[in-house]
A = this chain, B = another copy of it.
């Protein structure tokens, strides 16, 4: 008997009939002899509707109250899901994040999980019940206030519960068949990746592949917990995210590149004319960190010897940009930089693959493909298993398609049919 943790997102529980279908899937897993714990998101557009209500009563609602409001969404979906399971003759009990023992810090809106104390879940499982847990939420260790983990947080809830309960697998149900080599809406020949390492998945998630929440992959990696990303509309195998995907079999050689990710949600800020002195860059990024802003890529030009000044560019979520600009303005005099430039018409293309470690020339092939596609590169950043470039937003689609083709990722005829592609 295995312990399976399943995660269902908002689109999987969008209405009563969806909830009943998910209930059947959960009961089937239980009937197959598994213990089942489920993390569930709010129904469909509930979160947006609640945000809209909040906007109507207060343009700048206190974060504590916003969390209190938003967490009602999962309370509704989890109770309904438990009822639907009961209606199929199985015992289910719903638990809020707090009841499930999801302990977080006090950063409302994007709290981090500090600990999971799943005593009540364990008790429910031991009694043969299916436990349904509200995703996306927890309770703060210090203030005992309700917190939320940020958008996509239900993935993290599921993985955190799976780790704490020492589950055999964490299944992430979604509306696509798994993780793809590129976004099938842009590259019709994109293929499903059968297995991928945590590191590659982290890079994919960080670079815009929305199928898995970044923090959930970090969490799974730390606890070496297998994640199975799969469709809630079929019983097909999806994508397994594991520690080393290439040791188990030899059925396929490790590809150089696992996939091409893209992201249109970032903006670029350039701090112009920063005095090239020790500690200035630190001051800038300390200020941004204090404002709870997540920086992505950072590029610093070689300073011009004549002026003793340099430019520092960085990318960040567009939604954080106004906070960042305000924070930086405040330290302009102290740091002595000249001005701030802002650009939100950018896109990021990332090539990800553990294979590039041992394959020279990947960068050259990538850049040549972009050049052939007429796409100009604005910023570059690399890791051991990733190359990311910032380009004009209008060039994103062409760049993704060109890179996908250049690294032989396009699907063969058979697989392409599965995803509605044109094949070749």
Contacts and interface: CB of A to CB of B under 8 A. Distances in A.
A72 B20 CA distance: 20
Nearest to A57: B84
A58 B76 contact: no
Interface string A68-106: 110111011011111110110000111000010000000
Contacts of A76: 50, 53, 69, 72
Interface stretch (A59-67, A211-219, A265-273, A368-376): A59-67
Contact of A86 (B19, B62, B79): B62
A387 to B, nearest CB: 44
B87 A68 contact: no
Nearest to A74: B72
Contact of A144 (B59, B79, B94, B99): B99
A56 interface: yes
A94 to B, nearest CB: 5
Contacts of A61: 83, 86-87
Contacts of A62: 82-83, 86
Nearest to A18: B57
A58 B87 contact: yes
B59 A86 contact: no
A57 B20 contact: yes
A54 interface: yes
A302 interface: no
Interface string A36-61: 00000000000000100110111111
Given A53-B80, A64-B93, A65-B82, A87 B75 contact: no
A71 to B, nearest CB: 7
Interface string A359-396: 00000000000000000000000000000000000000
Contacts of A16: 53, 56-57
A29 to B, nearest CB: 18
Contacts of A59: 87
A84 B58 contact: yes
Contacts of A75: 68-69, 71-72, 75
A9 B156 CA distance: 37
Interface string A250-276: 000000000000000000000000000
Given A19-B57, A57-B16, A58-B84, A94 B79 contact: no
A120 B71 CA distance: 20
28 contacts: A16-B56, A19-B57, A23-B57, A50-B76, A57-B83, A57-B87, A58-B83, A58-B87, A60-B87, A61-B83, A61-B86, A62-B82, A64-B93, A65-B80, A65-B83, A65-B86, A65-B93, A66-B79, A68-B75, A68-B79, A68-B82, A68-B94, A69-B76, A69-B79, A71-B75, A72-B73, A72-B76, A75-B75
Interface of A: 16, 19-20, 23, 50, 53-54, 56-62, 64-66, 68-69, 71-73, 75-76, 78-84, 86-87, 92-94, 99, 120, 144
Given A53-B76, A61-B86, A69-B75, 18 more contacts: A16-B53, A16-B56, A16-B57, A53-B80, A54-B83, A57-B81, A57-B84, A58-B84, A59-B87, A61-B83, A65-B79, A65-B80, A65-B82, A65-B93, A65-B94, A66-B79, A68-B75, A68-B79
